[in-house]
Structure 1
Amino acid sequence: MSSSDYLPDYPLNSDLVKRLKSALDARDQGTVQDLICTEVRPVDAVIELANDDWMKDPAARLPPGVLLGLWTLEYKRELTTPLCIAAAHGHTACVRHLLGRGAAPDASPGGRGALHEACLGGHTACARLLLRHRADPDLLSAEGLAPLHLCRTAASLGCAQALLEHGASVQLAGGPGQDTPLHVAAQRGLDEHARLYLGRGARVDARNRRGETALSTACGAARRPDEHARCLRLCALLLRRGAAADARDEDERSPLHKACGHARPGLARLLLRHGADAGALDYGGASPLARALQTVACVPEPAPRRTVQALLNHGSPRVWPDAFPKVLRTCAPAPTVIEVLFNSYSQLHVSESWRELIPEEIFQMHEPFYQSLLALAHTPRCLQHLCRCAIRKSFGKKCFYLVPLLPLPKSLQNYLLLEPEGVLH
């Protein structure tokens, strides 16, 4: 039954709903509990908290996409029950009171049951109460999501543990993307959730509708810098448990493509150490190196440079020489990226016309480097650089591992690994 088929016991314009919404907006938890525990009748009454029926106000401005299917318009309402409200706000005593009065734990007029709401809020005590009253641990919401799919925050770990203890399926795929709980944990960077699911038998390389594994999902999720360490731990865990480092999605993108597309050097190095192919091409013909170079315009240094450096030190094919001017135009604001890439060639023809590719303000800001680059239009590379290229060619894909083993000063090891110096020789 869809939300439009329900007749609410307490419609949007009722006095109780007005007072309830006011209390919710004011975060007045005492009043919320009092209303749903003492005034609502019956115990499983359907409460309407919102309604976007545009026909009630034809003059209302509609969202841009709402008229795309004029004859298939369907308004949506936010319908709920006292038990769902209590669970969503973590009111354990209220949940216990309502269940004691016979509230149905799986009632879901709004598309989500009380257990879904408890998991979304990370309210473990409420989740355990509902499960003890026989709430279905695999109940699907209107979107096809089980409660485990809604364990999306670190605070929901206790909810996930309770669900699994009561028989929830760790393999269940759900929602439009057909994600498993492990995919959800990976997308959110929840390493403890992932550890829990893997310990309960989750398939590490299960695929969602887009052909992504959990590792691929984790590498493709955009994250704040403070989340990177947690994501790195999660990906390391997945790889230790046997995740395929080169698993391709429906677009033939590997986890390495996605890590490089977000300029994540630590993650790129982790994948490369586990055998990821630095030269893999997606359906669009892009390599991980190409994806890393595309981040220069939107990701601050040094992440793009370190990502490019990691790829080249693990044997990534370089940019075709004739395409280097295009890279120069795109990456000019990040001269260290240009330097690392340029130094991966033993000799690359430099044209004086390259000066026109560099915006004047960028040239002025990084004049010593760009002057040294353009000076190579009439000068061969130095012998030291040619020796570097010969050693790197001999080591091939193992540069990252073999160079640190050489009996050389750290400064020379860094030189061999393309550490930028600020000018070219």
Structure 2
Amino acid sequence: MDAQRSQIFLDFEKIQHLGPSHSVKHRGPEAFHQVLVQGDLRGLKVMVGEYREDVNLVFEVCSKEMEWQAKPLALGLSGLWSLEYKQELTSPLCIAASHGYTDCLQYLLQRGARPNMVVGNKSALHAACENAHADCAELLLEYGANPKLLTEEGLSSLHLCDTAQSFRCAKLLLKYRADVNQLSEEYQESPLHVVARHGLHNHTHLYLRYGASVNTLNIHQESPLASACASAWRPEDQEDYLQVCKVLITHGANVNSIDHEKRSPLHKASKNASLQLVQLLLRHKADVNAIDYNGCSPLANVIQTAPFKEELNPHCTVQTLLNYGSRKVWPAAFPKVLKTCAGSPKTIEVLFNSYQQIHVTEEWMEAVPEELFQLHRPFYGSLFALASSPRSLQHLCRFAARKLFDNQCHTLIPRLPIPKCLRGYLLLEPEGLVY
């Protein structure tokens, strides 16, 4: 920014009361700012053409906002909302681009506004892409905006294309030679990391078509595939992340890459109880028994998160991992599992049925809170009844068959010429009771 350029201080609470017609009748930064915010092209032409306002002016806009502040315990308060002044630097070009005012933007560029001026922490192109205004982005690029320019936070315009609506912006940036493998400064993330994390499969296709490196690692040694698997935690977003991961794997993503904590994509997908992602990764030879720095396997991860993921049926993920050969929980640790997953009886049932015989003790009964026992009384009644009884012959036959098939249960059992219900039994489908 030019050192000679003056900064204009504006009180937002004051200027927001100026209407379009009122603004044009007054000279000065407040009126100039107002016509820009409202996209008033006629007023803008008056301010620049007649009143000679500088199209490269820097505004420092002040506004009052409530901010949460922690207070000392001696005051008897854990926190307090206080009214603070917030200040933000911006320019006419950034204002027009962020609001999508293409006609105002074009007029400013024609009058000499500099497309690569960074004000505050970003340029007008950053503002346009951040708000998915493709027409503004195209206009700026035509006037020489640099698609590789970074914000003060170290992000390129391509990094800011993180919504489905920004797809056209991303296409334009790449058309104008944006670097699809440009890394952000702080976290060393590629644009592919960003769109994978947001579940944007169209962007993912686009970036890979333009040569994005599918196995680039960020500062945490996390790949785009791992970023996608870690972010797939909302039920309504599962299909989007599945499509992203399919595209990444098709283009050669390493399903067994590990981050700085030795967590694989399968660890992350399992922690989210993302069944379809877990199945996809396992079909592509993900290591079902990988161990992270905390000594946790993918199975341990889904067990830990099961009580919070009931809407995603975590027992199905547990079932899938066991059918692909996951090592079982150490029997002596089962009371801890029971305590963690008491609210997910189907998860407990699937795990319990993966053993030939495991001794049910009084400690197990104490691990289940009374309210959960009453809520799931038929299941827990059948489970605790086995404290003095062996497992049924039918279960022992199931265990023998599964031991024979080992880590190929998922492949071989569905091929057996037996009734569908019996195949489900061998694959540990829960029934609501154990015997």
> Structure 2 length as normaliser, TM-score?
0.87
Q: Which residue of 1 aligns with 2:80?
A: none
Distance apart, 1:246 and its partner CA: 0.9
Q: Say yes or no: does 1:193 pair with 2:203.
A: yes
- 293-302 vs 241-250, greater mean Cα deviation: 293-302
Question: Match of 1:147?
Answer: 157
SS of the residue corresponding to residue 405 of structure 2 reads helix
C-alpha contact (below 8 Å) 1:6/1:109 kept by paired residues: no
Q: For each residue in 1:304-340, what CA deviation from the matched residue of structure 2 results, as whole angstroms up to 9, or x when unmatched?
A: 1111111111111110000000001111111100000
Does the CA contact (< 8 Å) of 2:274 and 2:312 recur in 1? no
Does 1:13 find its partner at 2:11? yes
What amino acid does structure 2 have at the position aligned with 1:219? C
Shift of 1:17: 4.8
User: Partners in 1 of 2:237 and 2:260 — Cα distance?
Assistant: 27
Matches within 5 A, 1:25-424: 31-34=38-41, 38-39=46-47, 41-50=53-62, 63-64=69-70, 77-424=87-434
CA apart distance, 1:221: 1.1
Paired residue secondary structure (1:78): strand
Which residue identity is paired with 1:10?
A: I
Contact in 2 for aligned 1:264/1:303 (Cα 8 Å):
no
Query: How far apart, in 1, do the equivalents of 2:126 and 2:154 lie?
Result: 11
The answer as to whether partners of 2:232 and 2:269 remain within 8 angstroms in 1 is no
Alpha-carbon distance, 1:8 to partner: 5.0
For the 8 Å contact 2:189–2:219, the answer to whether it is kept is: yes
User: What amino acid does structure 2 have at the position aligned with 1:39?
Assistant: M
Aligned counterparts of 2:19 and 2:223: Cα–Cα separation in 1:
41
CA distance in 2, matches of 1:61, 1:145: 26
AA aligned to 1:345 is Y
Deviation per residue, 1:116-174 (Å, 9 max, x gap):
01101111111110000010010111011110000010111111111111111001001
Give me the whole-angstrom Cα distance separating, in 1, the residues matched to 2:123 and 2:37: 22
Secondary structure, counterpart of 2:388 in structure 1: coil
Matched position secondary structure for 1:203 = coil
Give 1:224 shift.
2.6
Q: 1:113 to 1:408 in 2, by over 3 A?
A: same
Question: Percent identity of the aligned residues?
Answer: 48
SS state at 1:148 partner = coil
Distance 1:405 1:82 in 2: 67
More strand by share: 2
Cα deviation 1:214-271 (Å, max 9, x = unaligned): 0000011154322110110000110111101111001100001111111111111111
Residues 319/21 of structure 1: CA separation in 2 closer, same or farther (3 Å cut): farther
- Stretches of structure 1 that go unaligned for 5 or more consecutive residues are 55-59, 66-74
For residue 395 of structure 1, report the CA deviation from its aligned partner. 1.3
Aligned to 1:68: none
1:336 and 1:217 map into 2 onto residues whose CA distance is: 29
Question: How many residue pairs are counted as aligned between the two chains?
Answer: 406
Q: Secondary structure at the match of 1:329?
A: helix
Q: What is aligned with 1:70?
A: none
- Which amino acid is 1:341 matched to? L
Q: 1:387 to 1:154 in 2, by over 3 A?
A: same
- Quote the Cα distance in structure 1 between the aligned partners of 2:378 and 2:363: 18
**3-state DSSP of counterpart to 1:245:** coil
Query: CA, structure 1 residues 155+350, in 2 after alignment: closer, same or farther (shift >3 Å)?
Result: same
Q: Residues 96, 29 of structure 1: CA spacing in aligned structure 2 closer, same or farther, 3 A cutoff?
A: closer
User: How far off is 1:379 after superposition?
Assistant: 1.2
Task: Give CA deviations for 1:156-213 in whole Å, capped at 9, x if unaligned.
Answer: 1111111111111001001421110000010110101010000011110001111010
User: How far off is 1:36 after superposition?
Assistant: 5.2
